[in-house]
Amino acid sequence: MNETFHGVFPALLTPFDKAGTVNYDALRALIRFNLDKGVNGFYVCGSTSEAFLLTNEERKKILETVCDEVAGSAAVIAHVGCIGQDMAVDLARHAKAVGADAVSSVPPFYYGFSFAEIRDYYFALAGVGLPVFIYNFTAAGGAKLTTDHFTEFLADPRFIGVKHTSSDFFMLERLKAFRPDAVIFNGYDEMFLSGLAAGADGGIGSTYNFMAEKYLAIERAFRAGDIEAARAEQNRANNIIAALLKCGVIPGCKVLCRHIGQDLGECRRPFRRLTEEQERALIETYEENV
């Protein structure tokens, strides 16, 4: 198992104050809250962070805050994904300068870039000098990369692994078979146990922000061979996730964080606030499955 990249990594939410600016004090509190639970690292400025609703300067300052608060006690992966290659490389250079352990990126999106263009983008990131995780997330409209595309990257040791937000566990298994030392993080929270069974080294997830203990328990049970205990904990997590899917995952995660004492404010528009009825139903489901 990789000594740095394994286990449970919350994909950090971004706290905002009432004026809509990033609340760095609340971010530090969220990091400390999860470090105290025993998480192995943090994934910074990914989808869960509302990354594409942030300016690049905000993304840089968020990463600086995380690296400062973590202070080497857990791993930090900086998501630097952008449509533009030069912008992504700028974020990657900053990540290296402030002490992140690795960078990650979705493929450049929207314009239907060719694989040759996507390959150039990722090799430019690899040239910065930090290990690179490719973020496989086709459900969000990203480029569809094949197993052969991934193995082309993984043949280069600068590409340390993949954040696999996909239900294609055959691909996950094939990537581990191709390069056993590659680090594969499961991306869909509701499939964490399935990902571990297929060979994932851990998981990166949104709901880890407020219930990392469930995923830590799933992993412990799985590694100990207690599959029934792992399935029972995954079931409880999935009951909460099903409720989140009905009302909006990222706004719902912030509601549940506030419920447990981590007030992260609201999401940036065009995200909408949950109704009082939605909040009550979500909190009730959470309390039934803690």
Q: Alpha-carbon Rg of the chain, whole angstroms? A: 18
Percent of the chain clearing pLDDT 70 (strictly above): 99
CB 215 within 8 Å of CB 190 = no
**What is the C-alpha separation between 207 and 10, in angstroms, rounded?**
7
pLDDT at 210 over 70: yes
CB 70 within 8 Å of CB 93 = no
CB 58 within 8 Å of CB 17 = no
- What band does 185 get if pLDDT is binned at 50, 70 and 90? very high
Question: How many DSSP H helices and E strands does the chain contain?
Answer: 11, 8
Reported as a single tens digit per residue, the pLDDT across 225-238 is: 999 999 999 999 99
- What band does 13 get if pLDDT is binned at 50, 70 and 90? very high
177 φ/ψ angles, rounded to the nearest 5 degrees: -65, -40
**What is the C-alpha separation between 121 and 21, in angstroms, rounded?**
30
Q: What are the residue ranges of helices labelled H in 75-206?
A: 85-98, 115-126, 147-154, 169-178, 192-198
Q: Which two tokens stand for residue 140?
A: 């969000």
More confident residue, 213 or 140: 213
User: So what's the pLDDT on residue 75?
Assistant: 98
Percent of the chain clearing pLDDT 90 (strictly above): 97
pLDDT at 38 over 80: yes
Q: Which two tokens stand for residue 172?
A: 């996950």
User: So what's the pLDDT on residue 143?
Assistant: 78
User: So what's the pLDDT on residue 140?
Assistant: 65
**What is the C-alpha separation between 167 and 190, in angstroms, rounded?**
10
Q: Which two tokens stand for residue 183?
A: 């680090």
Other C-beta atoms lying within 10 Å of the C-beta of residue 227: 12
pLDDT at 141 over 70: no
Q: What is the helix (H) or strand (E) element at residue 175, kind and residue range?
A: helix 169-178
269 φ/ψ angles, rounded to the nearest 5 degrees: -65, 145
What is the pTM (predicted TM-score) of this model? 0.98
| Residue-range domain boundaries for the chain | 7-224
- What band does 138 get if pLDDT is binned at 50, 70 and 90? confident
Catalytically annotated residues: 135, 163
Reported as a single tens digit per residue, the pLDDT across 151-169 is: 999 999 999 999 999 999 9
Give the distance between the most distant pair of CA atoms in the chain: 51
**What is the C-alpha separation between 118 and 271, in angstroms, rounded?**
29
The CATH number corresponding to 7-224 among 3.40.640.10, 3.20.20.70, 1.10.510.10, 3.10.180.10 equals 3.20.20.70
Reported as a single tens digit per residue, the pLDDT across 96-111 is: 999 999 999 999 999 9
